[in-house]
Amino acid sequence: TLITCSQETIVIGLAADSGCGKSTFMRRLTSVFGGAAKPPKGGNPDSNTLISDTTTVICLDDYHSLDRYGRKEQKVTALDPRANDFDLMYEQVKALKNGIAVEKPIYNHVTGLLDAPELIQPPKILVIEGLHPMFDERVRDLLDFSIYLDISNEVKFAWKIQRDMAERGHSLESIKASIEARKPDFDAFIDPQKQYADAVIEVLPTQLIPDDNEGKVLRVRLIMKEGVKYFSPVYLFDEGSTISWIPCGRKLTCSYPGIKFNYEPDSYFDHEVSVLEMDGQFDRLDELIYVESHLSNLSTKFYGEVTQQMLKHADFPGSNNGTGLFQTIVGLKIRDLYEQLIANKATARAEAAKA
Ligand code: ADP
Ligand code: G6P
């Protein structure tokens, strides 16, 4: 029998509010898969899509059914489901998953209008990132793995100030006002999606500095769902135990306020999870290799791969703390999931051919 190798597309969902580090995460993820993703060649320069050999990242803002003017007129925000076309999102993600190319609309972030669509070919790995990857049940069911970036209000505020005030010249008051204005819809439509995520990265202010309000030192929690096929959570020292670990001491010197890890089983919404937490930040990369050597189930292909990935992108935001570390780890877990899934399908096809 001749076995034809049909294209397999796995679909990953990444949800977060805007300005919460999705594009940084995507850069780390596509790097783990062996190549930076770039905008499509020769297309609309305002395309939101990123393509590498293996991975295509599409931004769900492209499924806005109301453009900036429509939203203003109807007094709905981009977070509101009424401003988004979930039927089209479902149809197109399903088609891509089944190996069929689609003509996807483009939401132009510069003009606020919908541009002419672009052709998207089915990739090996399709990432859908944006405000609502897990909102619609039909789309959610197409996801092989889902991630939610949960940035606490304090940290979101600190990041927004850094970007919008320092880089875009907005006032503190206007930043506060825009966060407040988004909050009701964020709470109603975006935040609830985290209950469906296979992995959640929670970013909180540090507990190592009393009354810290700078938002520079972070406490980051990686919440990993138990019982997800092809995904076995990372652990520290002993799987399923509760462990608190301060790596700084005789073998490792860290500067103030130090680094503290925590690992424990927990429950999140109605399911069992493992939680790995890192508070504080690295001064130097030898601190990271020391930490890496104490973590298990990382899905690395060689010793030190996490550290190598972090080193490679030392200039990305979050490279010295748990945000970069956990984003890198989730990237490795997704690579592992992808490889297992493909191997399994190949075995199934071989079995079917024999029968
Ligand atoms: P998104 O794609 O969700 O809009 P980005 O990845 O572009 O978010 O990040 C937006 C901004 O947030 C960055 O320019 C940076 O200022 C800040 N930021 C993102 N991730 C981190 C991080 N891990 N640590 C500190 N700041 C971050
Ligand atoms: C995109 C982003 C939203 C943002 C919106 C701007 O859709 O994902 O987070 O709010 O653009 O909307 P506006 O109505 O201000 O153009």
Report the pLDDT averaged over residues 243-269.
92
Cβ–ligand 1 distance for 323 under 6 Å, the answer yes
Determine the atom of ligand 2 nearest the C-alpha atom of 59: 8
The first and second tokens of residue 13, run together, are: 């969902």
**Helix residue spans in the chain (DSSP H):** 22-32, 68-74, 86-97, 137-140, 153-160, 172-185, 285-292, 305-312, 322-354
Residue of minimum CA distance from atom 4 in ligand 1: 19
pLDDT at 126: 96
Give phi and psi for 22, each to the nearest 5.
-65, -45
Q: Pairing relation of β-strands 199-205 and 145-151?
A: parallel
Determine the atom of ligand 1 nearest the C-alpha atom of 163: 16
Cβ–ligand 1 distance for 219 under 6 Å, the answer no
Among 86-95, 209-218, 243-252, name the one with the lowest average pLDDT. 209-218
Ligand 2 geometric centre to CA of 138 (Å): 24
Cβ–ligand 1 distance for 30 under 6 Å, the answer no
pLDDT surpasses 90 at 345: no
Ligand 1 geometric centre to CA of 19 (Å): 6
Q: What is the mean pLDDT of the chain?
A: 92
Instruction: Map out the domains of the chain with their CATH numbers.
Output: 8-197 (3.40.50.300), 198-355 (no CATH)
pLDDT at 6: 55
- Dmax (CA) for the chain in angstroms is 69
Query: Which amino acid is located at 143 in the chain?
Result: L
Ligand 2 geometric centre to CA of 78 (Å): 5
Ligand 1 geometric centre to CA of 155 (Å): 11
Report the pLDDT averaged over residues 37-54.
92
What tens digit of pLDDT does each residue of 79-99 get? 999 999 999 999 999 999 999
Cα angle: 34, vertex 306, 332; to 5 degrees: 55
Q: Which ligand places an atom closest to the C-alpha of 60? A: 2
Q: Which ligand places an atom closest to the C-alpha of 114? A: 2
pLDDT at 1: 46
pLDDT surpasses 80 at 37: yes
Ligand 2 geometric centre to CA of 86 (Å): 17
Residue of minimum CA distance from atom 8 in ligand 1: 21
Report the pLDDT averaged over residues 45-62.
95
What tens digit of pLDDT does each residue of 306-341 get? 999 999 999 999 999 999 999 999 999 999 999 999
Among 66-70, 159-163, 254-258, name the one with the lowest average pLDDT. 159-163
- Cβ-in-10-Å burial (0-12, 13-18, 19+) of 47 comes to buried
Residue of minimum CA distance from atom 6 in ligand 2: 78
The partner residues of 114 in beta bridges, in order of sequence, read: 107
pLDDT at 61: 96
CA atoms within 13 A on the CB side of 143: 27
pLDDT at 105: 98
Give phi and psi for 293, each to the nearest 5.
-70, -10
Contacts with 353 (C-beta within 8 Å, 6 or more apart), sequence order: 1, 3
**Among 192, 266, 267, 273, CA closest to 225:** 273
pLDDT at 3: 46
Cβ–ligand 1 distance for 21 under 6 Å, the answer yes
Cα angle: 302, vertex 306, 312; to 5 degrees: 110
pLDDT at 333: 96
Confidence of residue 169 (pLDDT cuts 50, 70, 90): confident
The partner residues of 277 in beta bridges, in order of sequence, read: 221, 262
What tens digit of pLDDT does each residue of 103-118 get? 999 999 999 999 999 9
Ligand 2 geometric centre to CA of 351 (Å): 49
Most confident of the ranges 34-38, 265-269, 337-341:
265-269
Q: Which ligand places an atom closest to the C-alpha of 79? A: 2
Determine the atom of ligand 1 nearest the C-alpha atom of 19: 4
Residue of minimum CA distance from atom 16 in ligand 2: 68
Cα angle: 101, vertex 141, 322; to 5 degrees: 95
Report the pLDDT averaged over residues 136-155.
96
Confidence of residue 2 (pLDDT cuts 50, 70, 90): very low
Query: Which amino acid is located at 297 in the chain?
Result: N
Ligand 1: residue of 14, 20, 22, 24 to mutate (most ligand atoms within 8 A of CB) is 24
Ligand 1 geometric centre to CA of 336 (Å): 26
Report the pLDDT averaged over residues 5-14.
82
Confidence of residue 7 (pLDDT cuts 50, 70, 90): low
